[in-house]
Structure 1
Amino acid sequence: MRRRVSGPFKAQQRIDMGTCVPAGATKQQRIDMGTCVSAGATKPVRAPDRSGFYLCCGISLQWVLFTQNTHCIHPRSNPMYPYAIAQVPRRSSRVKAMMTDGRHGGEALRNLVAFWVLGFVNNIGYVVMIAGAQEIAAGGVGLVYLFDIFPALLVKLSGPYWFQLVSYRQRTVAGAVWMLLSFLVVANGRHSLGQQLLGVAFSGLQSGMMEASFLAMSSFYASPVQCLTCWSSGTGLAGVGGYAWVAGLHVWGGLSFQATLELASVFPVLYVLVFLLVLDTSKLPPPRTCNYMPIPDASSQDAGVAVAVVAVEGTKDQLKLRKKELELEKTLAEEPPATELHDASTMGFRAKMNFIMTLGPYIIPLATVYLAEYTMQTGVWSAIGFPVESKEARASFYSSAGLAYQAGVFISRSSGVLFQATRPILYLMPALQVLLLVFFTLVAATHFWYNWSLLVVCFVVGLLGGGVYVNAYTLLSKEIAPSHVELALAAVSVGDTIGVMFADCAGLVLQGCLYSINNLPGASIDVTC
């Protein structure tokens, strides 16, 4: 039974009542959009219990229904339509996101700084563990890579199905705790390989969960592209910073590896402080669940009476809503129908899986470029040296190649606001990276180009890798429907981790093959080529 909607409504009344009705909407449009407002509706009256809810009363009150922690769902997406009430998120984060077109507006400097620092700190723990792999397990460096990557892969694969149940604040605190545990457990487990590998696993959990979380979190800010670029730039510099931390304090500074890790405990503290004090967290939603509840049907005599209970920010945010009233009217007029207001966090398991399967155009380039570049790092570059017979020469080239690579990564990951790759270019860069893998393999096997100028090509490898990383995410944020960007960013982040996992295996085999060709001892796996 359709509810009667009549009478003119002021813009502020529509905002306070949580409706998404343009100024010139007809009666039928208001009905289709789930509006249940009587003709004499007035501005809301604050409920006395400080619950943050308001009662929008009509002629008489017959039924009151309210549900907390829900998102704005279009009634037609509910099988119980028209007996479902269109509800608004408690913190109105989606409404705020609509008030500013995040793809065209600028972002506050504090948020850009926060994303950069969070990206740097998030990845530096992972890099420190990799840089100290020889100290952790001299005869099993591959185990350190495995225990650092595999937990990250697990959390990224599963995250899209449970992230919405845990707030960003809670995830950040958990990530900081895991980072702190990783440093302390490894530092105090010098005589137990199992304990040290457990600490490495904590590092993998932290970096994997928080990378997916912060990438997704950028969708709530005014300019996701700028936030993603700052995050990517910070992660790019973390590669250099992590190695510099270990080299500066342990190798050159003379501190023990234990002391180096214990001093790194400052990073988890910085992690939390930046999130809480620098980043504008008011834009972020609370943990989200969504339940539909039926509204009892009214008799024909009372069909003109309806009550909507709506969640709003509270008195402080009312001023912000009033100031942005005109901007909201303009945005709503440009937005597609309200069916796109559906929040992807409320999707079921099968629906999410089907949606994630459509993200291959972003996941495959990430996985491919990381597979190629990490195969070079773990396998090919370790078999190059001038001369190749010298262990010290091979180690020198490997370190120099890694530094050139990290410099390229930092530069390209910082270019997201200057250059946006199209789909064809995004697909071209991984293909070029695979060609460079073939090139370096032939160099290591035949020595047809064998001098320090190869470092220029290593720099290009970093440019391609960092370019795919930042452009895949920024392109996604522009092409995916706004209601699904958060889920998509979290899901696509699994691509680089999958690539690294396969690269670790391929690199061991390729290293053994190249060592065999050059008659070098010490390969992790004996392969005859």
Structure 2
Amino acid sequence: MESSEGGWPRLPSDSEGEYEDASTMGPETTEDYSNWRNNMGFWMLGLCNNFAYVVMLSAAHDILSHEKVPPRNKTGPTPIIPLEDNTSRYDCNTISTGAVLLADILPTLFIKLSAPFCIHWLPYGLRVGICVVTAWGSFVLVALSTSPAQSIMGVVLASISSGLGEITYLALTSFFKSAVVSAWASGTGAAGLIGAISYLGLTEAGLSPQLSLLTMTVIPLVMQASYCFLLAPPPQAPRCGWGTPSRRGASSLRRPSMGTPSSTHQPLLESATTNKSQNNKLSVSEKAHVVKSLLKYLIPLAAVYFAEYFINQGLFELLYFKKAEMTHSQQYRWYQMLYQAGVFISRSSARCIRIRHIWVLAVLQCLNMVFLLFAVYYMFLPSIYLAFALILYEGLLGGAGYVNTFHTVREESPPEHREFAMGVACIADTLGVSLSGAVAMPVHNYFCRLP
């Protein structure tokens, strides 16, 4: 197959007559095709990377309800104990869903704090492989679990996959056109929506939570395929896992086989061109300066995520409407699905709406958190549908904070700092989520002790 000027294969054709101009495909057409592939590739990577993380949070109530399963029935959680049989006014699990959140986020936090300073020693292909294996293992381990502790270990694997994947793919976007950031953000938003709907739909259709999780083991394989066969990396991108770099104008312009890694791995910042600004490794003082310059965006983003995940894992379980037709578990799954729907909509809106003042989103999300906290304490919401609307609004604010922060960081970072800045920026949301999980657990225990 002939290669285009950019070094990538041309579109295949079934007949020469059908594509008469295939042999004379211009650079503009080739570039459009590569752009489409890259946008779709990052969308799929965002979808698959966050899928396991989202499903584990959607299944948090069921995972912890495992503790209520009697010895003779290990296939699923028993019905929730009615509120009137409890000493508390709330229908509570023994363990807060914040415990699942912490298991789902602390490994990610550790990875994101350490990775920007040392991850360049690992080639992209190896990192993607680790993400695939840990994501697949998380579904299997939780699905086959016989205790909450084993389930939590599966959640930890999902966290490792998501955290390593996010910092890997966001760093990789620095070598592509800026449009792939929107594609990635939209894909992560789609992961929330599709993941929550998938779990909700499968369980509503009658499948047990265990079987529902086993059906999702195909998602990590899709992530591997998207990375290997869908992305069309530009010549300046690091090619670890893609083969030996090709040079524009070199004798070999044919794209290397996706399945055949290079015999020698190059460092993360090594490129196929003479882009010396990205080849130079940043010193510790330079990295500290980059981090300091990003704080005006990272602190508001952390506040947005603290508020929304405090709502999700601290208040969702307590926001129970006894007179609604849905069971407690069903209400929790609907909360997760509507939240993820809001996230998907706002993360896909960057082409239409840009918000540079992230602090405004942080203030609005914190106000939303305070309102729902009072709603849980005083139980004054008259209808579950009003709660649905507030949760959808919460998701819209959270998704907008994410996509606008990363677009702004990319635009305002000089090329030589951009890869490091994109990797560091993803620490903020994880830090906010981690703090919310730590706060959510004592708050859950306080509410559950109220008479």
Distance 1:186 1:380, change over 3 A: closer
Per the alignment, residue 41 of structure 2 pairs with 114
Question: TM-score w.r.t. structure 1 length?
Answer: 0.63
Q: CA contact under 8 A between 1:107 and 1:221: conserved in structure 2?
A: no
Equivalent position SS for 1:359: helix
Distance 1:392 1:516, change over 3 A: farther
| Alpha-carbon offset, residue 515 of structure 1 | 4.7
Q: CA contact under 8 A between 1:117 and 1:234: conserved in structure 2?
A: yes
Per the alignment, residue 225 of structure 2 pairs with 273
2-structure distance, mates of 1:447, 1:507: 18
1-structure distance, mates of 2:172, 2:448: 45
2-structure distance, mates of 1:231, 1:468: 14
The AA in structure 2 aligned to 1:147 is A
Per the alignment, residue 506 of structure 1 pairs with 439
| Alpha-carbon offset, residue 457 of structure 1 | 2.4
Per the alignment, residue 409 of structure 2 pairs with 476
2-structure distance, mates of 1:175, 1:446: 43
| Alpha-carbon offset, residue 479 of structure 1 | 0.7
Structure 2 residue runs without a partner (length 5+):
1-27, 68-94, 241-245, 256-274
1-structure distance, mates of 2:148, 2:446: 29
Per the alignment, residue 214 of structure 2 pairs with 262
2-structure distance, mates of 1:417, 1:499: 26
Match of 2:429 among 496, 500, 504: 496
Question: Does structure 1 residue 246 correspond to structure 2 residue 181?
Answer: no
| Alpha-carbon offset, residue 317 of structure 1 | 6.6
Question: TM-score w.r.t. structure 2 length?
Answer: 0.73
1-structure distance, mates of 2:217, 2:412: 39
Distance 1:147 1:391, change over 3 A: farther
1-structure distance, mates of 2:299, 2:56: 27
1-structure distance, mates of 2:233, 2:401: 28
The AA in structure 2 aligned to 1:436 is N
| Alpha-carbon offset, residue 486 of structure 1 | 0.9
2-structure distance, mates of 1:400, 1:180: 25
2-structure distance, mates of 1:516, 1:344: 57
Distance 1:512 1:135, change over 3 A: closer
Q: CA contact under 8 A between 2:38 and 2:232: conserved in structure 1?
A: yes
The AA in structure 2 aligned to 1:416 is A
Distance 1:478 1:245, change over 3 A: same
The AA in structure 1 aligned to 2:116 is P
Match of 1:150 among 106, 118, 138: 106
2-structure distance, mates of 1:516, 1:478: 49
Match of 1:372 among 290, 307, 311: 307
What does 1:310-459 align with in structure 2 at a 5 Å threshold? 315-316=250-251, 341-343=276-278, 346-387=281-322, 397-422=331-356, 425-451=357-383, 452-459=385-392
Distance 1:392 1:515, change over 3 A: farther
Q: Greater Rg, structure 1 or structure 2?
A: 1
| Alpha-carbon offset, residue 438 of structure 1 | 1.3
Structure 1 residue runs without a partner (length 5+):
1-99, 288-310, 321-339, 520-529
Spell out, residue by residue over 1:180-236, the C-alpha distance to the aligned partner (whole angstroms, 9 max, x if none).
222233334x235544433322211110011111112111112x2x21111111111
Match of 2:173 among 194, 218, 240: 218
The sequence identity of aligned pairs, in percent, is: 31
| Alpha-carbon offset, residue 385 of structure 1 | 3.7
| Alpha-carbon offset, residue 146 of structure 1 | 2.1
Match of 1:170 among 103, 116, 126: 126
What does 1:6-25 align with in structure 2 at a 5 Å threshold? none
Q: CA contact under 8 A between 1:377 and 1:402: conserved in structure 2?
A: yes
Per the alignment, residue 184 of structure 1 pairs with 140
Match of 1:197 among 152, 164, 179: 152
| C-alpha RMSD of the superposition | 3.1
Spell out, residue by residue over 1:415-474, the C-alpha distance to the aligned partner (whole angstroms, 9 max, x if none).
11212212xx21111111111111112222334553333422222211111000000000
| Alpha-carbon offset, residue 267 of structure 1 | 1.2
